[in-house]
Structure formats: C-alpha cells, structure tokens
Structure 1
Amino acid sequence: MKRLQLESGSHIHFVGICGTAMGNVAIGLKKRGFTVTGSDKGVYPPMSEVLEGNGIRVLPFGLDNTRDPDFFVIGNAIPRGNVEVEEILNRRKAFCSLPEILRDVFVEGRRLVMITGTHGKTTTTALVYHILKENDLNPAVMMGGVPQGLKSGFEWSTKSELFVMEGDEYDTAFFDKTSKFLKFSPDILVINAIEFDHADIFDSVADIEKAFRFLLRRTPGNAKVLANGDDARALALKSDCYSKFASFGFGEKNPYRIVSVTYGDGRMKVELDMDGEHISLISGMPGKHNAMNIAGACSVCRELGVSATGLEQAIATFPGVRRRFEERAFNEVTGGRVIEDFAHHPTAVSATIRGAREIFPGKRIVAFFEPASNTMRRGELRSELLTALNMADIAFLLPVPQGRRELAQNMPEIPVGSLAERVVGLNKQNEIENVFRQQVCPGDVILILSNGTGQGSLEKAIDFVNGGKHE
C-alpha cells in the first residue's frame, strides 16, 4: 500500500473543512508545521470558532482556493460537481481522503486505540484520552468533538507511542465509499452498540455489521477487542474476531461489569467490577449510556495498566465534551437551564432525555430536535424518533434544515403539527419564538438536540433562561 509523502511546510487545502473530523485534522497538521487552508459553506459553531481560534481561515468554495496548495484533502460530504473538486481533477492535482492523511501522517508507527460504534464514540474517546493523560501516559488524540478545556479535538504528543482515535463507520469520500475506519488496523479496538444509521450510505443494519466484520479482519491477532456486551450485534462480532476479546456492560457475563448506577448531588455514581476488582466512580455525566461510555473507557485504560485509583481520580475530573450534555445556561433563581447535546439518532435522543430526568428529578423537560443528519432528513426511523421525543414533557421538532451540506438529492420534509402525544412539529423558524413565549416555563430544563445549527433554538433558549422571560 502506497503511503503519502508530504514535505514539511507544504501547503495543504481542506475541501469541506468544517466537518468536525476534517477541522480537527487540519488543526493537527497546522500544529505539525504545515500551511493549512480550508473551504466550506454553511459554517457554524463550534468548529467555525475552533478553526478561527487556531488561526485557520475558512473560505467559501472557489477556483482561487485551488491555485496555490501543494495537496488537497477532500471531505466525505463533498460530491462531484463541487467547483474545487472539478478543478482538482481537471488539473490532475494530488489529493486524498481524510482517513488516509490521518493514517499516514499521524497514526503510522504508533500504538492505535480506536473507539467505534453507532453511539458514544466521541465521549468514550475523550474519556480514554483524559484518563491516560491524567495518569501520565500522554497519548495523542483525534476525535469528532471538542473536549471542554481544549481548543480542538486533536492533540499531538511526542511523549508517548499511544494514539487514541474515534473510528467512523461512515464512508470515506465520493471516490471511496468504504468506511473510514477500514483504513486502520487498531491495537485496541472498542466496539460500542451498533444500530442502523447513515441511511444515505447503508441500506440496512446488516450492511453496517458487515463493515465492522471487515474491520475485525484488519485487526491483528495480538490486538485486544473490547465490545459492548449488552448489545447483541456488537457481541455477535466475536465470531469474526481473531484477536483477544472481552466485553463491558451491565450483564453479569461481562468481565468489565457495571454493578450499579445511582445519583446524588447532581452527580452520577457508577460502581464497576473490573475483572474482579471493585471500582467506585463519580461523574457529572448522567444516564446509563454514559455509564457504558465510562465502562468502555475504563476497560481500555485497565488494559493499558491504569490503576483503580487512577481511574477514580480521572473520571471525577473529566470536564466533558462540547455539545455532549453540555450545560449552556443556568438560572439560580428560577432553576431553569439549557443543555445542548449532539443527539441526532432516536437512541441517543431517548438516552439524553432519560439522563436529564435522572439527574434533574421532578423538573419539566422541554426538548427541541433538529433533523439535520441525512438519516433524519430522509425520514428514516421517524416512528422511533417520535417515540423518543415523546419521553419529554413536551418536544418540538424543528424544520428540516436546507443546504447544510452539499447533498446529491433533496430530502423529504417531515410533517408538521401534532405528531405524537407530546411532540409538535414546527413549520417555520419564527414559530420557535412563539414556543418560548407561550409554552416554555422559567424553571424548565430545555434540551437542544442537534448535530447541526439548531436554527437559533439554542440562542433563544439561553436568552430565555438568562432573562427568565415568560409571556
């Protein structure tokens, strides 16, 4: 397999730089001494702010962007027909996909810890990185989100051979429709729960399982695979595994087992049995899904030699990840607060709402959901989504956003009006203001659930909670 050969200081241009992974790798290359530029459209926080904070300017797509760079990285959201892509191809300029440059520039020669699965990848990756760093193992990291306290989701390290990475099952690029994670051969592989997602790429959950089976074929025999033992699909992959295999979860057969999850003083307490050793952890992240993320991360770190005390101290100080149950506003007088979460799949939506109920017992939960992912835009899993949103006291389904990314086809609109017992579909963005005037109370816990812009709902929620307005 031919590897990329890039001279230090060369100019690399990212086409579609504002995807979280694209932006984080771009920042990593800049830190390594490369000249980095990027282009995109529909730019929004946090990645727009993260890139700006790291000195990378985001330009609109245009022919001028292709003249000076020595090399191009093309994101998987960018199709044929993009003006820069067509110029790159017509002029026979050198280019590659994101996972290729990540593999060849950063991962090659390192011990790779890769976190995969439909849900929990970013949080688990951030947890592993935090635990290892707090225990002086100092890994490099690449993840699809931005941990609190860091300027990006990429941190380079020359103090360790470890590289912790979020592995994505989504496709690589318009010229390579295989899963991104198939470019890597991990030394430690975590497989979280597997569900149907990415309806624009996969026809069924069986297709997603197939991608994971191919990943296991690339995983060395002397590697370690740690799977969600409570998920039938993840556990079934053991039959295709030639590596050492162990599992984590609530089930009694898991060597890394969650014994109990309780709450007190706004914190979650997780009791673990780590292959016979009892460990008690305190976390600010609520929900059984986060208990699973913690168990998965602790399993990895135990394999790497972190002690029980090291785990306990690190979990207690984990600051969280931006847009993962992130508190954006709190009013001490009314008790109202705003929580932002990246949830864009019915399972993640239900887990986030359930977690809010567990950590804020007795509070009224109001949810705003933006169908921004391709799966949600297509109306896939609609019944499951409405069931999940119906767990809130009242939920509002925002309009399908238009033009967030370049898409090969138009997505159908999700119907508006009363969609379930406690779910209301909104037709226009200005209806969001009416919702805050008429249906949200000062003491509510407001959840903004989106992997897109949120269409102004976050800003309106923060203003509402900070001002305590209610008409």
Structure 2
Amino acid sequence: MKTHFIAIGGSAMHNLAIALKDKGYEVSGSDDAIFEPSKSRLENKGILPLELGWFPEKITSEIDAVILGMHAHQDNPELAKAKELGLKIYSYPEFLYEQSKNKTRVVIAGSHGKTTITSMILHVLNFHSKDVDYMVGAQLEGFDCMVKLTEDNDFMVLEGDEYLSSPIDLRSKFLLYQPNIALMSGIAWDHINVFKTFDDYIEQFRKFTASITAGGVLVYNEEDPEVVKVVESAENYFRKIPYKTPEYEIISGKVHLKTEIGDIPLSVFGAHNLLNLEGARHICHTLGIMDEDFYEAIMSFKGASKRLEKVEREDNGTLYKDFAHAPSKVKAAVKALNEQFRNEKKYGFLELHTYSSLNPIFLEQYDHAMDGLDEAVVFYSEDALKIKRMDAISPELIKEKFKNENLKVFTNAAELHAYWQTLDKSKGVFLMMSSGNFGGLDLTK
C-alpha cells in the first residue's frame, strides 16, 4: 500500500509513518518544518523528506491513502491536488480506525490522565509479553515507536484525544475509534479556542460514550461528577465499571498501595497517579491480566514522558517536569508535590502559552491552582500574546485569577532566567509545569 503524509513531521504523524514503514507500506511525506526527534527518527527509517515545503507533484494517482495532519492548512497545495485526483484522504484517527476496525479497540479518554493510563496499560502488557497494537501520545521506556500496527494482533490500545481530527474533519479524534472497551478519566474544560463553552466540550464526551459499541465496556472515574453525569445520561447499552482512588500511604518517601495481597511499593507518586493506576488495572483486567500480575508489573512503572518526570541535574537537585498546563492538571501536579514532599521547600513554575491558558475568561479556572507551594511562579511571554494576536494580560490579573497574592509573575524570558539563576537548585524540590520550555530554560543546570 502506498501512503503519503501531509505534515509528516508532527509528533503523532511521524510515529504513524514509522509504524506503516515497519508494516511494509510504501511511505512518503512532506512538511514545512520538522524538528527533533522527528527528524532523526524519520531519517533513520529512510522516509525523511529531501527538502522542506509542499510539492503537489508528489501527489499522484498511484497513492492509495493520503493522511492529513492538523499542522496543514485547508489551502495546502498537496491537499488540493489530492482532492483534484479524487484520492482517499484520511485524518490521523480515521486511518488508525481503518487499521484497527477488525480488532478489539480499547480507547482511553479524558481531559487529564489519558496518556499516563495508556502508558500504564502498555507497560503492564509489555511486562507480561502480551502483544497488542497501540497508539500513545508520549514516549514510554522500553518502546521505540509510540504507534504499532500489525495484521495479527487482536487488540489495539488507543489514547483518545478530544481535539479536532484534521483541518477538513472537525470531529473530535476519539469519535472515530468506535471503542469496544473504553475508559473516561475526567472532564475539565479545555481547548476553549475550539469548544467555546463548557457544554460544547462536555458534548464531545457524550458523543464518545454514545460511540461505544453495543455490549461494550466503559471504565469510568466515579469521583468526577461530570463523568458520572455523562455516564448516567447515556442511552446506549454497555457495561459500566466505576473506579476511585485506592488506599495508599507514603512510607519513607515512597508510595505504597494498600491491596488485598499486601502493600505494593510504587515508583510514581501523587493521588492522581494512584487514580490513573486504578483505571489502568480495570482495563488490564478486561484484557485478561489478573490483579497479582498487574501489581507485579506496575511496581516498575516510572511514569510517562513529561508526567512528573524526574530530571537528572548536574547538582543532583530534585526537579520534576510535567506537561501540566490545563488547570486540572496543574492542580493535580501541585497537590502531588505538596503531599509527597511535606517537609521540603517546594518551588512551582508554570508556563502559560496555549490559547486557552492565555484567555482572561479561561484564567478563572486556575483559582488556587498553586496554593501550598513555598514559591509559586507563573511565566508567559508578551511576545507570544502578540504573535497569537491576543490582548495584553497584566501580572496583576494573573495574581487575581490564581487568587494568590504571593505569586511571582514573569512576562520576559530573560528576567525569568535571571531569577532562576538566583535559586539554589540543590535544596528543596522543583516542579516545572509546561507544554513548552520556559523560553529555552535548561532544567539540567
């Protein structure tokens, strides 16, 4: 099969391209910008475009499938050529469904926790040599490529994102998967540039629940009232399995899960991660993994990339980086740090740089998000606001919305970096929360 990727360099797209190459497909692609690690990984597989840009001449009638990434625009010249030739154009999730429509599809959804839960499931299955197809949005230890597609595997585990599928398909990605087994971890308003109201956002999860196949299974977080409402209002038939935060205690700085078979020491911490773990356990149980085997494997799970991930520093200081940027994720990460390191001085840094996080209306969601920290810092770039054509935001407004008068607010990367240099990183615990890089801050020094 001959496939062509429009915007092959994306973090998700390049993994799919590599998976198809490994499956024996003929793969080509284009992009106007490709960064590391996508660049090297595509080059190693021999599918890195020879030059950047869009080339309509690459699109020929011999192509069986064109896969369109979100990075491309509706007026993309390669897309126009594909339409002209009447080629089959797939969004990323639509193509994944085509590859898995004859398999049992396990879809992990939710505003937060879905990457970690998917990673936990894959870690356990890999530990016990249970081979499945998969797609997950973060790099996981022991896995080279975060998409795997085969002809033989009976199951496919998919991280289900509620964001849009492609520039020409405005459905939420997870609505295309039609899960046989699903999990819903939580609902907290996000992506307000697309979902203008909270109800618009919740509606995606109602549709997701309605897309579960007849007689399927939904594992859901019973501690989240919005999730419970969605589940209880569903009209289609599926088996419902609720889960909640399990009992645990922290002994000598290490989390121990309290189970029927005894205390299980873990390598992760935070109540939200324990809740994620419980959801993963129920999903693994539906896949034939007994509790004893689940606990044996999960002890060695160290976390998904950028999810309370410990950074090795030159001074041996204690620093964690977390993808947290949405309010619910920030609150969960800060709560975890406060609980785990009660007797240490705790520093929390948050970068606001998504459309949602820089919206004055959405900022209300961050109230008390950084409470309990000894030092709390928020950084956002005034230049980024100009590039996004958004109105200026004052540091005073940030403090007001966070309901934290002691908050330090920086709007200039150089000033943030200068403040960073005044801190002794060998003492205390640091939590760096961003889907960006704090204006190029080196967290190892």
Could you say whether these structures have the same fold, taking a TM-score greater than 0.5 normalized by the shorter chain as the test? yes
Q: Determine the structure 2 residue equivalent to 1:436.
A: 420
108, 114, 121: which one aligns with 1:121: 114
- The answer as to whether partners of 2:31 and 2:53 remain within 8 angstroms in 1 is no
Alignment of 1:389 onto 2:370: yes
- The answer as to whether partners of 1:125 and 1:166 remain within 8 angstroms in 2 is yes
One-letter identity of the residue aligned with 1:149: G
Q: Determine the structure 2 residue equivalent to 1:26.
A: 17
Distance 1:314 1:375, change over 3 A: same
Alpha-carbon RMSD: 2.9
Alignment of 1:281 onto 2:264: yes
- The answer as to whether partners of 2:7 and 2:71 remain within 8 angstroms in 1 is no
* Structure 1 range deviating more: 392-401 or 303-312: 392-401
- The answer as to whether partners of 2:108 and 2:117 remain within 8 angstroms in 1 is yes
Q: Determine the structure 2 residue equivalent to 1:245.
A: 240
Helix, strand or coil at the partner of 2:440: helix
State how far apart, in whole Å, the 1-side matches of 2:87 and 2:156 are: 30
One-letter identity of the residue aligned with 1:207: D
- Aligned runs of 1:337-416 on 2, under 5 Å? 337-385=318-366, 387-400=368-381, 410-416=389-395
- Aligned runs of 1:48-447 on 2, under 5 Å? 51=42, 56-57=47-48, 62-64=53-55, 67=58, 70=63, 71-82=65-76, 84-86=78-80, 88-89=82-83, 94-105=88-99, 107-156=100-149, 160-236=153-229, 237-240=231-234, 241-250=236-245, 258=246, 260-272=247-259, 280-330=263-313, 336-385=317-366, 387-400=368-381, 410-416=389-395, 419=399, 420-447=404-431
- The answer as to whether partners of 2:119 and 2:140 remain within 8 angstroms in 1 is yes
Shift of 1:188: 0.9
Shift of 1:322: 1.2
Query: After TM superposition, what 4+ stretches of structure 1 lie above 6 angstroms from structure 2?
Result: 401-404
State how far apart, in whole Å, the 2-side matches of 1:73 and 1:143 are: 18
- The answer as to whether partners of 2:7 and 2:72 remain within 8 angstroms in 1 is yes
State how far apart, in whole Å, the 1-side matches of 2:284 and 2:114 are: 15
One-letter identity of the residue aligned with 1:392: L
Distance 1:194 1:58, change over 3 A: farther
Partner deviation per Cα, 1:209-254 (whole Å, 9 max, x = no partner) = 222222222212221111101011111223304101110004xxxx
- The answer as to whether partners of 2:218 and 2:240 remain within 8 angstroms in 1 is yes
Helix, strand or coil at the partner of 1:456: coil
State how far apart, in whole Å, the 2-side matches of 1:187 and 1:450 are: 33
* Structure 1 range deviating more: 317-326 or 155-164: 155-164
State how far apart, in whole Å, the 2-side matches of 1:60 and 1:401 are: 33
Shift of 1:21: 2.5
Partner deviation per Cα, 1:236-293 (whole Å, 9 max, x = no partner) = 223304101110004xxxxxxx1x1211344322225xxxx66643321111110111
- The answer as to whether partners of 2:105 and 2:156 remain within 8 angstroms in 1 is yes
Helix, strand or coil at the partner of 1:219: coil
- The answer as to whether partners of 1:40 and 1:59 remain within 8 angstroms in 2 is no
Helix, strand or coil at the partner of 1:21: helix
State how far apart, in whole Å, the 2-side matches of 1:453 and 1:147 are: 20
One-letter identity of the residue aligned with 1:175: I
- The answer as to whether partners of 2:30 and 2:54 remain within 8 angstroms in 1 is no
State how far apart, in whole Å, the 2-side matches of 1:44 and 1:425 are: 30
Helix, strand or coil at the partner of 2:357: helix
Distance 1:141 1:205, change over 3 A: same
Shift of 1:206: 1.6
Shift of 1:387: 2.3
> What is the number of residues matched between the two proteins?
434
State how far apart, in whole Å, the 2-side matches of 1:26 and 1:401 are: 36
Partner deviation per Cα, 1:288-313 (whole Å, 9 max, x = no partner) = 11011100000111222212220111
Shift of 1:390: 4.0
Shift of 1:85: 4.3
Distance 1:304 1:400, change over 3 A: same
State how far apart, in whole Å, the 2-side matches of 1:151 and 1:238 are: 39
State how far apart, in whole Å, the 1-side matches of 2:283 and 2:225 are: 20
15, 18, 25: which one aligns with 2:7: 15
Shift of 1:51: 4.7
Task: Return the TM-score normalized by structure 1.
Answer: 0.83
One-letter identity of the residue aligned with 2:182: L
State how far apart, in whole Å, the 1-side matches of 2:29 and 2:184 are: 32
Distance 1:91 1:414, change over 3 A: farther
State how far apart, in whole Å, the 2-side matches of 1:453 and 1:432 are: 12
Structure 1: gaps of 5 or more residues: 1-6, 251-257, 464-471
State how far apart, in whole Å, the 1-side matches of 2:252 and 2:39 are: 35
One-letter identity of the residue aligned with 2:320: I
Partner deviation per Cα, 1:16-68 (whole Å, 9 max, x = no partner) = 632x3323222212221234344556655565565556555367752337625
Distance 1:439 1:453, change over 3 A: closer
State how far apart, in whole Å, the 2-side matches of 1:30 and 1:392 are: 47
Taking only the aligned residue pairs, the percentage that are identical comes to 24
Q: Determine the structure 1 residue equivalent to 2:440.
A: 456
Structure 2: gaps of 5 or more residues: none
